[in-house]
Structure 1
Amino acid sequence: MFETFCQRLHSSKPFVTVEITPPHGASMDGVLEAIKASGLQEKVTGFSVTDNPLARLKMSSILSAIRVQQRFGKPVIATMSMRDRNKLSLQSSLLGANDFDIRLILALTGDPAKFSDQPEVKGVLERDSTLLLSIIYRLNNGFDYSGQPLDPAPRPIYPFAVSNAYAKDMKHLQKRMVKKLDYGARAIITQPVFDLDNARELLEIFEEAKGLSVRETAKEAELILGQFPVVRARTATFIDDKVPGITVPKAIIDEMNLAAMDGAEKEREVGFTLSKRIFDEILALHPKVHLMTHNRFELCANLMKNIV
């Protein structure tokens, strides 16, 4: 399953993953039924599962990933945040996930604990996400982080990393890409991209980053362009103002605000048309896309309607 997933990632065919946010509750059943009702599991290459985004309490990303993968038989990228775990916990979680065949891991530093909805939460943060990438590198060679051999050794783990989509100094962003490739990332998923110029620039600096990396695996690394379909003006404003690392162009916010003045139906119509255009254009430019929609699976299915 994972070999096929990686082959698709390296091919010229459309590669689309969809992000799932686990519930603030003790069952994934509602999320799984919503995915099934949309038929999305028949369209996507795989799924990803978030890990307490914005430091707000959700069900375990790894346990949720197990449910999704077992239910739909599609590879699932499990997010692991450095904010909530030390070296011991990270290794323990990776080994347990491996036994359940959760082997696609997205390494995140994690949103700051100050955003949490839980009182007096403190981040662990022994280091940034490169620590998790270096742990995965050691596990893939049959050793724990201290150098002790593992018996049995885990099956291969495929590490993913993230990148902002825009920075005032794009060379600084490129340096961060190089660092993650040096630590063994097989693919980098960007924050949402909203225009083709931004997408082209990201692809250009990523190709340069691959050449600058000291790691042999960087030569085959891929960039996956994030997409966040915006169908409500309020959502566009919120993610631009409140979500770290995401910038929504003012032109899109203005167009959505004008549409909202003509009612909710017009707002949704304009938002979907905008989102579909951006999705189609970016997929045509670079057929590797990661959709983030806050569990709006029907919206994802509609965006992907014409994709075989």
Structure 2
Amino acid sequence: MFEKLTDKLKNDKYLTLETTPAHNASFSLTIDKIEKLGLDKLVDGFTTTDNPLAKLKLNALFGAKLLQDRFNKPVIATMSMRDRNKIALQSDLLGANEFDIRAILALTGDPATISDQPATKGVFEGDSSLLLDIISAFNTGMDYAGKPFNVPPKPIYPLAVVNAYAKNPRTLQKKMQKKIKHGALGIITQPVYDVENAKLLLELKDKANKECCAENKSAELVMGIFPITKLRTAQFLSAHVPGINVPDCWLEKLRKASNGGEEEEYKVGFELSKKLFDDIQALHPKIHLMTANQFQIAKDILV
């Protein structure tokens, strides 16, 4: 299952859909929506998020298990450095491995200061590179302390993330190189809203891979796409989310459309997002689609 996913990542079209477990004790309703829309038949796999924005949600590893069992498709489970020390990270990886959750998206994590839980403190024993190093150790049959496992874990497939935009592109290349050197097989970008931006990211990825070729390491780039159907979403992403660049033309078109009412605003935003998806797919058919669980939008984008 995971071997097929990584083969598609390297050699073929590749499409994953992000899912976010809810703030309740069930993920099944979310999975039911995916099944009802037939989205499982349109994607190669899924991801589950790990308490994004430090807001309490159902555990991403358990969510991944439920998704994987329902659709028999690989799920990339996100793990954040914010909430776990080295012991907990390794313990979770071992448990997930037993249940065949073996694709891991390594994140540093949003700051605990923005959590919805009072007086929450972040752990942050390291950034996402530490988790990538732990996975590398596991894949050699040892824990992070160098102690061999009596029963070694099954292979784990690590992925990482990178911003989609920076004033100095060289900083993005350096971040990509760091992820690759620590073992990431795939690097998912923050949402991209411009084809020229996507072309630049691909150039930076190629340069990063070249810098790592002496270590016989490389990674594929996966373009993150987050459809925008509301002006206020575009304004928020543009003004408040580092690493994302929403073009002025998008903001202007959505601003003009919003004067015509919600339906016109949605129509224009969807058309912009659909064209972007099609253009990116034609350029580089390795995409991670994020819709904040608005799965009907995902369906409309994909069909």
Q: TM-score, normalised by structure 1?
A: 0.96
For residue 240 of structure 2, what is the aligned residue in structure 1? 242
For residue 57 of structure 1, what is the aligned residue in structure 2? 56
For residue 22 of structure 1, what is the aligned residue in structure 2? 21
Q: What per-residue deviation string (whole Å, max 9, x for no partner) do you get for residues 135-168 of structure 1?
A: 0000000000011001210000000000001101
Are the equivalent residues in 2 in contact too, given 1:16–1:44 (CA < 8 A)?
A: yes
Among the aligned pairs, what percent are the same residue? 52
For residue 198 of structure 2, what is the aligned residue in structure 1? 199
Are the equivalent residues in 2 in contact too, given 1:183–1:215 (CA < 8 A)?
A: no
For residue 209 of structure 1, what is the aligned residue in structure 2? 208
Does 2:147 correspond to 1:129?
A: no
For residue 297 of structure 2, what is the aligned residue in structure 1? 299
Q: CA deviation at 1:241?
A: 3.0
Q: What per-residue deviation string (whole Å, max 9, x for no partner) do you get for residues 15-65 of structure 1?
A: 110100100100012101110111100000100000011111111011111
For residue 34 of structure 1, what is the aligned residue in structure 2? 33
Alignment of 1:1-308 (within 5 A): 1-12=1-12, 14-213=13-212, 214-218=214-218, 221-305=219-303
Q: What per-residue deviation string (whole Å, max 9, x for no partner) do you get for residues 174-214 of structure 1?
A: 01110110000001000001011100000001001001015
CA distance in 1, matches of 2:244, 2:23: 23
CA distance in 2, matches of 1:10, 1:179: 19
Structure 1: give runs of 5+ residues left out of the alignment.
none
Are the equivalent residues in 1 in contact too, given 2:209–2:217 (CA < 8 A)?
A: no
Q: CA deviation at 1:245?
A: 2.9
Are the equivalent residues in 2 in contact too, given 1:111–1:244 (CA < 8 A)?
A: no
Q: 1:84 is aligned with what amino acid? A: D
Are the equivalent residues in 2 in contact too, given 1:276–1:303 (CA < 8 A)?
A: yes
CA distance in 2, matches of 1:44, 1:242: 30
Q: 1:264 is aligned with what amino acid? A: E
Q: 1:103 is aligned with what amino acid? A: R
CA distance in 1, matches of 2:21, 2:235: 23
CA distance in 2, matches of 1:217, 1:66: 29
Q: What per-residue deviation string (whole Å, max 9, x for no partner) do you get for residues 247-285 of structure 1?
A: 322221221122111111111111110000000000000
Greater CA drift, 49-58 or 3-12 = 3-12
Q: Secondary structure at the match of 1:217?
A: coil
Are the equivalent residues in 2 in contact too, given 1:105–1:159 (CA < 8 A)?
A: yes
Q: CA deviation at 1:233?
A: 1.3
Q: 1:199 is aligned with what amino acid? A: A
Alignment RMSD (CA, Å)? 1.0
Q: 1:33 is aligned with what amino acid? A: D
Q: 2:32 is aligned with what amino acid? A: E
CA distance in 2, matches of 1:209, 1:158: 20
Structure 2: give runs of 5+ residues left out of the alignment.
none
Q: CA deviation at 1:301?
A: 1.4
CA distance in 1, matches of 2:146, 2:79: 22
Q: TM-score, normalised by structure 2?
A: 0.97
- The runs of at least 4 consecutive aligned structure 1 residues that moved more than 2 Å come to 238-247
Q: CA deviation at 1:244?
A: 4.0
